[in-house]
Structure 1
Amino acid sequence: MSGARRIVVKVGSSSLTSIKGGISEEALTGLADALAHKRNAGAEIILVSSGAIAAGLAPLGLEKRPRDLATQQAAASVGQGLLMARYTHAFGAHGVTVSQVLLTADDFMRRSQHTNAFRALDRLLNLGVVPVVNENDTVATHEIRFGDNDRLAALVAHLVRADALVLLSDVDSLYDGPPSHGAKRIPHVSGPHDLDGISIGSTGKAGVGTGGMVTKVEAASIAAGSGIHALVTSTRNAAAALAGEDVGTWFSVNGSRKPIRLLWLAHLASVQGTLVLDDGAVKAVRDRHTSLLPAGIAAVRGHFEAGDAVEMVSTDNTVIARGLVNYSAAELPQMLGRSTRELGKALGRGYDREVVHVDDLVLV
């Protein structure tokens, strides 16, 4: 970590705010001090910060995080400005400029948008700015949103080609059980097998977050599986973590970089339907990494349009892959079990394509 040049740091709502006190000046200033020190030492820092909704609760007279989307959006609209004002002041004390970058899941789905997001973030980093990234809660919908900023941070780390991802909360490490019951810290995770049998906790103590340790482990695993080292620790350990000290749980790289659209498909896409594959198609897709053809589909479930995300399952309902389908649920039944050549002759041009092209497919 000490040698990482480009680092994405994510901090959760529970570390920055509480329902009674709004934004914690002490916590925010302490985090800004640690990040500014690292930035002034030559590293490039992107901060993915939750807290907008939580920061907006007190000014709106709300006692707890609202459940309905409209009130969440209203709280985010009020709280985001308050959050950025505090960050501007705290980083400014160290001569560091910050900027606001609001993203939605849609920005990672479309090539033109995630390309523009990369260019903007890359230029900000080149100019010595610390971008403060958050989900654009005011315009996000239930259907297309991150829901927590942990997965957003993992995708941002991938987008900007970061060397490391640091996920901060109010828990100092991953443990093999409840820390209050004498559980041991897990210092290193080299792959998913290291987490077999581990029970992972949920939302933080302040009660204002949406993630918890489950989503942090998921985000760290996404990063590690796509070529980026990740560390899960507490906000109080931020300075020690950035200095390379032995704190938290380190997730070492266990995979290579993937197209960001496939990461979105694997971890964020809203699945609209299911394609049931016969045994031959399962082997072709899973083992030979080929496109899915109509001849290998045994059944179609759900209602979806061309371009939607679907799951591909075996006849015993084991999920094999996710992909972007080229035909609607209404078109597919007449195509099942037939070759693309036969379909082209019978139904015309446009029906001789793959149902899911291998470039739009990810194994899960």
Structure 2
Amino acid sequence: MDRERVRTANRLVVKVGSSSLTTPQGMIDGDRVDALVDVLAAQRNAGRQIVLVSSGAIAAGLGPLGLTARPRDLATQQAAASVGQGVLVARYTSSFARYGLRVGQVLLTADDMMRRSHHRNAQRALAKLLDLGIVPVVNENDTVATDEIRFGDNDRLAALVAHLIHADALILLSDVDALYDGDPRRPGARRIPEVRGPEDLVGVELGKSGRVGTGGMITKVQAARIATGAGVPVVLTAAAYAAQALSGADVGTYFHPQGRHPGTRLLWLAHATTGRGRLWLDAGAVEAIVTHRKSLLPAGVTAVEGDFSAGDPVDLCGPHGETVARGLVNYDAAEIPELLGRSTRELAATLGPEYERELVHRDDIVILEPLTGA
């Protein structure tokens, strides 16, 4: 009954990883692309709206550039993405054309999610493409993204896109058919058919990425947590089981939506931003923020790191360096050392009434829960 939400979903985001689209040598595998498109085109022609978040641009650029492995440096990754993105979209264009469907390329950076005007523009563009019957093919804009403003993997991008377009379900396709309680290559590893909450992930081993991709099982579970936290159910399975997953069959792992629908602002702050600096909190300030959801006052801060401006996202760290929350700071980094450990009343009396305010207001703080699992 739970997977009925996937079977009846009208608007879907489907994410496919590099390893599901390419050969071991890094070239686009036309048969794999066509097999995926066969499934998605059938769903689209049945009246469902599909947004395809597709990895593979960098991997597709390896062969044409004569590379034998994914490059480590950003400049070569950007070059491979520039070459490979054209190859990838051309292949999707010709494959969907077999069914009379058109595709539209949408390239996003984390900055497009962080800046609200860009965020709204991306939302409008995707909505219009869907209204026009186009299949949007979304990817990170690796050609211009920098290390500081990258999603890092398309799993997280797909989860944010699902929230952005108010999708009814998210399907994460990879070369692994489900989440297992251990390495699926080892005897005795068991498929986890459903995840209702963090408690179902206690003790679960989350693997790392393969050769051509950047993600891994941990990024998929993180993406599922983002989406389900926004009320979007998620199915994680192999690309070979895409049709079954979309039909609501018992394949892969089903992540139940949590029933919480956070505002775009807090989801953006938690998952589409990177802290530009860090504020170190004493134990009392951690309890006030995490347990009582209070604002952060200068009296509870012991140290500041980084170079940031008022309005930037900063990580809020406990006494042992653990990141417990992220918030939009009200002061420049250079102003904060003089404020540390002092009450707002004292600061107002000595520095002026404009200093009688929080370092970070509670409405601009999101608690960052650690990912459960090993």
Interval of TM-score (by shorter of Structure 1 and Structure 2): over 0.9
Which of 33, 37, 45 is the aligned partner of 2:42? 37
Q: Hey, what's the Cα distance between the residues in 1 that align with 2:282 and 2:72?
A: 42
Q: 1:191 maps to what in 2?
A: 197
Q: 2:294 maps to what in 1?
A: 290
SS in structure 2 of the partner of residue 310 of structure 1: strand
Q: Report the number of matched residues.
A: 362
SS in structure 1 of the partner of residue 225 of structure 2: helix
Q: 1:271 maps to what in 2?
A: 275
Q: Is the 8 A contact 1:56 1:76 kept in 2?
A: yes
Q: Cα offset for 1:34?
A: 0.5
Instruction: Show CA shifts across 1:181-225 (max 9, x none).
Output: 231111000011101101122223xx2101021111111111112
Which of 30, 33, 44 is the aligned partner of 1:28? 33
Q: Hey, what's the Cα distance between the residues in 1 that align with 2:288 and 2:272?
A: 25
Counterpart amino acid of residue 178 in structure 2: S
- RMSD over aligned Cα atoms: 1.6
Identity of aligned residues (%): 63
Q: Hey, what's the Cα distance between the residues in 2 that align with 1:137 and 1:113?
A: 17
Counterpart amino acid of residue 48 in structure 1: V
Q: Hey, what's the Cα distance between the residues in 1 that align with 2:174 and 2:157?
A: 15
Within a 5 Å distance, the mapping from 1:206-285 to structure 2 comes to 207-285=211-289
Q: Cα offset for 1:111?
A: 1.2
Instruction: Show CA shifts across 1:245-301 (max 9, x none).
Output: 110000001241223342233234222332232344333322222221222223333
| TM-score, structure 2 as length reference | 0.92
Q: Cα offset for 1:32?
A: 0.6
Q: Hey, what's the Cα distance between the residues in 2 that align with 1:178 and 1:339?
A: 51
Query: Larger deviation: 235-244 or 289-298?
Result: 289-298
Counterpart amino acid of residue 280 in structure 2: V
Q: 1:134 maps to what in 2?
A: 139
Q: 2:58 maps to what in 1?
A: 53
Q: Cα offset for 1:23?
A: 0.6
Q: Compared with structure 1, are the counterparts of its residues 298 and 20 closer, same or farther at alpha carbon in structure 2 (3 Å cutoff)? A: closer
Counterpart amino acid of residue 358 in structure 2: E
Structure 1 residue 357 and structure 2 residue 343: aligned?
A: no
Instruction: Show CA shifts across 1:50-69 (max 9, x none).
Output: 00111111111111111111
Q: Hey, what's the Cα distance between the residues in 1 that align with 2:111 and 2:322?
A: 28
SS in structure 2 of the partner of residue 175 of structure 1: coil
Which of 320, 337, 342 is the aligned partner of 1:333? 337
- 5+ unaligned residues in a row in structure 2: which ranges? 1-5, 369-374
Within a 5 Å distance, the mapping from 1:87-126 to structure 2 comes to 87-126=92-131
Structure 1 residue 169 and structure 2 residue 174: aligned?
A: yes
SS in structure 1 of the partner of residue 334 of structure 2: coil
Query: Larger deviation: 127-136 or 347-356?
Result: 347-356
Which of 131, 146, 150 is the aligned partner of 1:145? 150
Q: Hey, what's the Cα distance between the residues in 2 that align with 1:261 and 1:70?
A: 32
Query: Larger deviation: 102-111 or 304-313?
Result: 304-313
Which of 169, 177, 182 is the aligned partner of 2:188? 182
SS in structure 2 of the partner of residue 233 of structure 1: strand
Q: Compared with structure 1, are the counterparts of its residues 112 and 302 closer, same or farther at alpha carbon in structure 2 (3 Å cutoff)? A: closer
Which of 281, 286, 310 is the aligned partner of 1:306? 310
- 5+ unaligned residues in a row in structure 1: which ranges? none
Q: Hey, what's the Cα distance between the residues in 2 that align with 1:122 and 1:348?
A: 48
Q: Is the 8 A contact 1:286 1:320 kept in 2?
A: yes
Q: Hey, what's the Cα distance between the residues in 1 that align with 2:131 and 2:183?
A: 42
Q: Hey, what's the Cα distance between the residues in 2 that align with 1:260 and 1:316?
A: 30
Q: Is the 8 A contact 2:306 2:333 kept in 1?
A: yes
Q: Compared with structure 1, are the counterparts of its residues 272 and 21 closer, same or farther at alpha carbon in structure 2 (3 Å cutoff)? A: closer
Instruction: Show CA shifts across 1:133-171 (max 9, x none).
Output: 000001000111011100000000011111111100011
Q: Cα offset for 1:338?
A: 2.7
Q: Compared with structure 1, are the counterparts of its residues 289 and 73 closer, same or farther at alpha carbon in structure 2 (3 Å cutoff)? A: same
Q: Is the 8 A contact 1:304 1:329 kept in 2?
A: yes
Query: Larger deviation: 332-341 or 218-227?
Result: 332-341
SS in structure 1 of the partner of residue 355 of structure 2: coil
Q: 2:77 maps to what in 1?
A: 72
Q: Hey, what's the Cα distance between the residues in 1 that align with 2:113 and 2:155?
A: 15
Q: Is the 8 A contact 1:19 1:64 kept in 2?
A: no
Q: Hey, what's the Cα distance between the residues in 1 that align with 2:26 and 2:108?
A: 27
Q: Is the 8 A contact 1:311 1:321 kept in 2?
A: yes
Q: Is the 8 A contact 1:11 1:50 kept in 2?
A: yes
SS in structure 1 of the partner of residue 7 of structure 2: coil
